[in-house]
Amino acid sequence: MEELAALGTVHARSRVITTDPLGPAQRRFANAVAIVESELEPQATLAALQRMEREFGRRRWRRWGDRVLDCDIVLWDEGIWEGHDLVIPHPEFRFREFVLGPAKSIAPHWYDPVSGLSISQLHARLTKPRPVLR
């Protein structure tokens, strides 16, 4: 988390939670979110995050495989952004409790510019108990 300060001002960060992996990874993951204010445009921010991942030993060789560090840009204060290899908001964040839970703790009123729902609303939809059909 301290490395994010190289990108700009870290305004908030969530606690770290441990979750089971998605896909073929063999180990549990530590997940957290941060609000970072930066002068960098999204593509430059992504490049800086990928450089940080490499410095921590990440090698991109298998999707959803074990990795030391995985940094994503989930939301951007200017709404929707699409580039060569980057889409904001992150296309899958609405379906990931390991993103929405920590995000709710530091930015519950931030909203998804695609659905118009707040982080709290998205989290509630994802974690809402569902009846068991027999």
What was the pLDDT predicted at 130? 78
| Mean pLDDT, residues 22-41 | 86
What was the pLDDT predicted at 26? 72
Going by pLDDT thresholds of 50, 70 and 90, the confidence category of residue 27 is confident
pLDDT above 70 for 56? yes
Going by pLDDT thresholds of 50, 70 and 90, the confidence category of residue 8 is very high
What is the C-alpha to C-alpha distance for residues 119 and 111, in angstroms, rounded to an integer? 6
Residue 36 has φ and ψ, to the nearest 5°, of -125, 125
Look-up: residue for tokens 């988390």? 1
| Mean pLDDT, residues 43-72 | 78
Q: For 63-116, how does the pLDDT look when each residue is reduced to its tens digit (9 = 90+)?
A: 555 567 888 999 999 899 999 889 999 999 999 999 999 999 999 999 999 999
Q: Which CATH architecture has domain 2-127?
A: 2-Layer Sandwich (3.30)
What was the pLDDT predicted at 55? 86
pLDDT above 60 for 61? no
What is the C-alpha to C-alpha distance for residues 98 and 78, in angstroms, rounded to an integer? 23
What is the C-alpha to C-alpha distance for residues 12 and 34, in angstroms, rounded to an integer? 6
Q: pLDDT: is 120 or 65 the higher one?
A: 120
